[in-house]
């Protein structure tokens, strides 16, 4: 019925039992299509926030699976999440909000750590240098790049793309690139002045098609040229591990261990700002400029933080609490009907 709202405090998932305890679980990644946002993490958790504002309430989406999700990306019609054991899930709700999901066959059992859309295609990367791709952002099948066309066996931990390039980063300073129209063959960037493990990569401001920023161990921050062939090491105000980086226009945010948040206007100079938490932060994304839009950071123990521009941070207005049978509720808020 229209207008019916289900109280999550009494929600029972009928069928397979969902994870019971979420109290110390981590959220590893977040992404947004503007009208909605999705965060993923431990115990197969897929949280969604719709409609805006995304600084207020988040809810859990079935089905519940045991694997850990490491990364999520938007697609033309919704979201894709990837994780341990080669697990891939695709959202299927008609509006593309991330409220319902089904599995896809990745054809690998290797852990997948990163996923992105690059032009009209999708790329996922992970353990042992594995690279998967789809020729379309729609349903389609997953294909695996020939190991001979991926010049590393080191684990790749993140990937980002624009209409021209896809860039993957990983252990021991590894940076690979491919054309977004390809994704089958990758090349290693030679001029990377870093040997640290990279954990995150994001697309930021610069001459079209834009530049990439990579972050990782010891607070390392690198910035690419628009053609991704050269990378500059930037001064960092921290020596802790950075896990992710995201931009909106010229505003940039990087997140990491012990509640570390760095802020930049332009991407050249970075400053540490107060996050209000000591929890490790693993993912950051931008959810749009509308009501409740801005940057969202996620991390250990259900932490979700929100900032309008990236320099002042607060807990989400209503914090996540754990409930049995997979129900996530926020101070007895009722969950909106699925579209």
Backbone angles phi, psi at 311, to 5 degrees: -105, -20
Q: What is the dihedral of CA 32, 103, 156, 159, to 10 degrees?
A: -30
Instruction: Indicate the burial class of 240 (C-beta count within 10 angstroms; 0-12, 13-18, 19 or more).
Output: middle
Residue 333: its pLDDT value, please?
A: 35
What integer pLDDT is reported at residue 219 of this predicted model? 98
- Give the dihedral sign, CA 111/114/116/121: negative
d(CA 125, CA 123) in angstroms, rounded, equals 7
Strand, helix or coil at 43?
helix
Alpha-carbon gap, residue 113 to 161, rounded angstroms: 15
pLDDT tens per residue, range 111-150: 999 999 999 999 999 999 999 999 998 778 999 999 999 9
Domains and CATH numbers, the chain: 26-332 (2.130.10.10)
CA distance 242 to 281: 8
Nearest-5° Cα angle at 128, 123 to 130: 25
Are the CB atoms for 282 and 298 separated by under 8 Å?
yes
Q: Which of 298, 320, 258 lies closest to 23, judged by CA?
A: 320
Residues near 82 by beta carbon (within 8 Å), at least 6 away in sequence: 69, 70, 71, 72, 88, 89, 106, 112, 113, 114, 115, 124, 126
- CA dist., res. 35 & res. 137, Å (int): 19
Q: 3-state DSSP call for residue 68?
A: coil
CB 45 within 8 A of CB 302: no
Helix (H) or strand (E) holding 74: strand 69-74
Output the pLDDT for position 142. Answer: 96
pLDDT along the chain (339 residues), means of 10: 33 30 76 92 90 78 88 95 97 92 96 96 98 89 96 97 97 96 94 92 93 98 95 97 97 98 98 96 92 89 92 74 36 39
Q: Across the chain, which distance is largest between two alpha carbons, in Å?
A: 59
pLDDT value for 24: 62
Under the phi-then-psi rule, with left for phi > 0, alpha for psi from -120 to 50, and beta for the rest, what region is 306? beta
Name 24's Cβ contacts closer than 8 Å, sequence gap at least 6.
300, 301
**Distance set, CA 53 to CA 3, 141, 215, 296, 320 (Å):** 19, 34, 28, 11, 15
Sign of CA dihedral 236, 263, 204, 142: positive
Instruction: Retrieve residue 108's tokens.
Output: 């690998």
Closest listed residue to residue 189, CA positions, set 212, 209, 208 = 212
Quote the pLDDT of residue 213.
98
Class of residue 10 by CB neighbours under 10 A (exposed 0-12, middle 13-18, buried 19+): exposed
Residue 1, number of CB atoms within 10 A of its CB: 4
Per-residue pLDDT tens over the stretch 22-78: 446 899 999 999 889 999 999 888 999 987 677 778 888 888 788 999 999 999 999
């Amino acid at each position: 019925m229209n207008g019916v709202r289900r109280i999550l405090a009494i929600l029972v998932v009928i069928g397979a039992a969902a994870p019971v305890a979420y109290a110390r679980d981590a959220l590893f990644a977040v992404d947004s299509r503007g009208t909605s946002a999705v965060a993923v993490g431990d115990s197969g958790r897929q949280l969604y926030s719709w409609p805006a504002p995304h600084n207020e309430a988040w809810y859990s989406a079935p089905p519940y699976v045991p694997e850990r999700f490491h990364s999520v990306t938007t697609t033309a019609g919704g979201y894709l999440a990837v994780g341990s054991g080669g697990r891939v899930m695709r959202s299927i709700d008609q509006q593309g909000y991330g409220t319902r999901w089904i599995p896809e066959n990745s054809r690998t059992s290797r852990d997948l750590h990163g996923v992105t859309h690059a032009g009209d295609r999708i790329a996922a990367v992970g353990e042992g240098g594995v690279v998967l791709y789809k020729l379309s952002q729609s349903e389609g099948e997953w294909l695996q790049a020939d190991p001979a066309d991926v010049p590393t066996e080191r684990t790749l931990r993140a990937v980002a793309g624009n209409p021209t390039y896809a860039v993957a980063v990983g252990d021991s300073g590894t940076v690979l690139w491919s054309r977004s129209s390809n994704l089958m063959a990758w090349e290693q960037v030679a001029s990377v002045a870093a040997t640290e493990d990279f954990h995150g990569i994001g697309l930021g401001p610069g001459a079209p098609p834009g530049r990439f920023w990579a972050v990782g161990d010891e607070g390392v921050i690198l910035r690419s040229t628009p053609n991704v062939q050269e990378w500059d090491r930037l001064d960092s105000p921290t020596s802790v591990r950075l896990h992710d980086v995201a931009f909106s226009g010229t505003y940039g945010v990087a997140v990491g261990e012990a509640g570390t948040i760095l802020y930049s206007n332009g991407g050249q100079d970075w400053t540490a700002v107060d996050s209000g938490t000591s929890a490790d932060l693993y993912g950051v994304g931008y959810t749009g400029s509308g009501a409740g839009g801005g940057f969202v950071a996620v991390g250990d123990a259900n932490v979700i933080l929100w900032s309008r521009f990236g320099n002042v941070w607060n807990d989400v207005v209503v914090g996540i609490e754990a409930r049995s049978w997979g129900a996530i509720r926020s101070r007895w808020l009722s969950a909106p009907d699925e579209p």
